[in-house]
Amino acid sequence: MIPSSICADCAVRDRALCASLSDEELLELNALGQRRHLSRGEALFWAGDDSAICANLLDGVLKIVASTSDGREQIVGLLYPADFAGQLFAAQVDFTIAALTDVDLCVFPRGAFEKVLQRHARMEHLLLQRTLAALGEARSRMLSLARKSAEEKVAGFLIDMTVRMADASSRATPGGPVTFDLPLSRGQMADILGLTIETVSRQMTKLRDAGVINLPGGRAITIADGPALIRRAEAA
C-alpha cells in the first residue's frame, strides 16, 4: 500500500532518509510529518534553541550558520534536497539553519523521529552514513581552505553546485551544457571559500573568459566545459 498524503508526492522520496522504509513503514512516518514552507531568509531554528524538530529538505537550499565572536554570520555548510536538517539526541541546536532560497520541508517532532529511528535500523544506519559523509565533506573543506588556490576553490565549488543543483531540466539538450541558478551571492561564496568578493569575481570572470563557464545574467551560470572545470579544480 502506497502512503497517501505527504509521502505519495514527495519529490525526494527515493533519496531521503525515509527511502530505506517500506510503504507500510512510511505510513508510520507519514503520521508524524508536516509540510512546511520557508521563504528566503527565514530560520528553521536558531543556535541555542531547544532541539524540538528535525526535517527532510524537499526543495530549495538551506544554510548552516555559525556566529563569530563579533556577531558576524559565517556559513559553514549547505543543505540540499533530500538532506536531513536537525540535531538528534541533543537538548539544544548548535547552529542556526535558515533558508538560503525558498524551501519546502517535511518537519517531524525530534523525540518522535528518534523513536522511529530506534525501531528501524535501516534508516538509522543511513543517517549514520550521511553524518559520516558530512564529516568527511567538512574535513575536505578545511583542506581546501588551507591548501588550495583561489582558482581551485572556485572551480571545486562550482562542480559541487553542479552536482547538487542541476537536474535533467537544466540541460537544453541531452548531454549539453548545464545551466542553473547559484543559490549564493558572490559575498556568500567568498565567506564559504575563505576568499574576498573581489577574488571570487575575478576567478568567475577568468573561467568565463576561458570558455569554461558562461554567465547569462543574475545568478544564472552555465557549465560550458565540465572536464575543463574539473581540471582547474584539481590543479590550478
Q: In what order do the strands lie in the sheet with 103-109?
A: 34-38, 103-109, 53-59, 84-85
The mean per-residue pLDDT over the stretch 160-180 comes to: 70
User: Is 134 in the same domain as 181?
Assistant: no
Number of domains in the chain: 2
User: Is 103 in the same domain as 23?
Assistant: yes
Burial class (CB in 10 A: 0-12, 13-18, 19+), 192: buried
Range of the domain at 197: 148-234
User: Is 120 in the same domain as 183?
Assistant: no
Nearest-Å Rg of the Cα atoms of the chain is 19
Mean pLDDT of the chain: 84
Asked whether the predicted pLDDT for residue 14 surpasses 90, the reply is no
User: Is 81 in the same domain as 192?
Assistant: no
Q: CA 209 → CA 6, 196, 202, 205, distances in Å?
A: 46, 20, 10, 6
- Residue where one domain finishes, among candidates 143, 176, 196: 143
pLDDT tens, residue by residue, 15-40? 777 777 777 778 778 888 899 999 99
Query: Cell digits for 210?
Result: 576561458
pLDDT band, very low/low/confident/very high, at 46 (cuts 50, 70, 90): very high
Query: Cell digits for 185?
Result: 551571492
User: Is 89 in the same domain as 106?
Assistant: yes
User: Is 135 in the same domain as 153?
Assistant: no
pLDDT band, very low/low/confident/very high, at 3 (cuts 50, 70, 90): very low
User: Is 12 in the same domain as 128?
Assistant: yes
pLDDT tens, residue by residue, 177-186? 888 888 889 9
- Residue where one domain finishes, among candidates 143, 166, 197: 143
Angle between helices 150-165 and 226-234 (to 10 degrees): 140
pLDDT band, very low/low/confident/very high, at 217 (cuts 50, 70, 90): confident
User: Is 109 in the same domain as 165?
Assistant: no
State the pLDDT at residue 96: 94
Residue 154 sits in a domain of what CATH number? 1.10.10.10
**93 or 68: which carries more pLDDT confidence?**
93
pLDDT tens, residue by residue, 98-144? 999 999 999 999 999 898 888 888 888 788 888 888 777 777 767 66
pLDDT tens, residue by residue, 80-95? 888 999 988 889 999 9
User: Is 127 in the same domain as 204?
Assistant: no
Residue 32 sits in a domain of what CATH number? 2.60.120.10
Asked whether the predicted pLDDT for residue 53 surpasses 80, the reply is yes
Backbone angles phi, psi at 219, to 5 degrees: -100, 10
Are the beta carbons of 97 and 49 closer than 8 angstroms?
no
pLDDT band, very low/low/confident/very high, at 202 (cuts 50, 70, 90): very high
Cα–Cα distance between 203 and 207 in angstroms, integer?
6
- Residue where one domain finishes, among candidates 143, 168, 196: 143
In 3-state terms, what secondary structure has residue 44? strand
User: Is 120 in the same domain as 215?
Assistant: no
